[in-house]
Copies of this chain bind each other. A is one copy, B any other.
């Protein structure tokens, strides 16, 4: 029985790693599509989102099956609960990458108001956050998870800075406004992905350390 539980846990981990890889790649492609005004690549991001959605369904099925078969407790239960949330978070990240690709598609037709430097830089940090949050989850690495949470502030700062610069472009020429607004939404999507990575980081910290909540939970649990 225990061996089967471990196999299922391993399978869920592998699927989440795969999903995170697809999400990273989607962000990377969406940002390249924006930068190189490559509408085909933007379209590709949209087409490939289905694979992320399918993995979400698969992981959800696996988690429910694990709960029904093994009635896990303690660390295993926390693992499954964390997995369902992380699964959800990754799927939402995929949606944000699609939103960026949609903007890339719309902007691909017009001459860029500025060279894209800050946004790809921000995207690079966000991609590492996605990767690190899943590594932290798989390895149960609290320090790495905490690091992801710290990076969230860096990304928030970058979003503010990008918006500030975009405002100057808007003020310079009203013709820049709608393009600048689109870029501001790209930055917002990246910031949301960073937020979701931070959620994963927090989930990992709870899963491993079972702080505060665990204490309360065991109180409830003891009354059984």
CA distance A217 to B178 in the complex (A): 46
Q: How far is the CA of A174 from the CA of B88 in the complex (A)?
A: 40
Q: Which of A65-73, A125-133, A134-142 contacts B (4 or more CB under 8 A)?
A: A65-73
A67 touches B77 (CB 8 A): yes
Query: A170 near B174 (CB under 8 angstroms)?
Result: yes
CA distance A181 to B184 in the complex (A): 9
Instruction: Count how many chain A residues have C-beta atoms less than 8 Å from C-beta atoms of the other chain.
Output: 36
Name which residue of chain B comes closest to A66, CB basis: B220
- A129-185 contacts to B, CB under 8 A, are 163, 167, 170-171, 174, 177-178, 181, 184-185
Contact of A188 among B57, B167, B188, B221 (CB under 8 A): B188
Does any Cβ of B come within 8 Å of A60's Cβ?
yes
Q: A88-B85, A174-B170 are in contact. Are A68 and B61 (CB under 8 A)?
A: no
In the bound assembly, the distance between CA atoms of A35 and B185 in angstroms comes to 24
Q: Report copies per complex.
A: 2
Q: Is A18 engaged at the interface, CB distance under 8 Å to the other chain? A: no
Q: Is the CB of A61 within 8 A of B184?
A: no
A85-B88, A163-B181, A174-B170 known; A221+B77 contact, CB < 8 A: no
Say yes or no for A117: interface residue by CB 8 A criterion: no
Give complex CA distance A221, B68 in Å.
8
Is residue A64 contacting chain B, with contact meaning CB distance below 8 A?
yes
The answer to whether the Cβ of A114 comes within 8 Å of any Cβ in the partner chain is no
Contact between A69 and B174, CB atoms less than 8 A apart: no
Q: Residues on A close to B: CB < 8 A?
A: 57, 60-65, 67-69, 71, 73, 77-78, 81, 84-85, 88, 163, 167, 170-171, 174, 177-178, 181, 184-185, 188, 212-213, 216-217, 220-221, 224
**Sample (15) of A-B pairs whose CB atoms are under 8 Å apart:** A60-B81, A60-B213, A61-B217, A63-B81, A64-B77, A64-B78, A64-B217, A67-B67, A67-B77, A68-B71, A85-B88, A88-B88, A170-B177, A177-B177, A181-B184
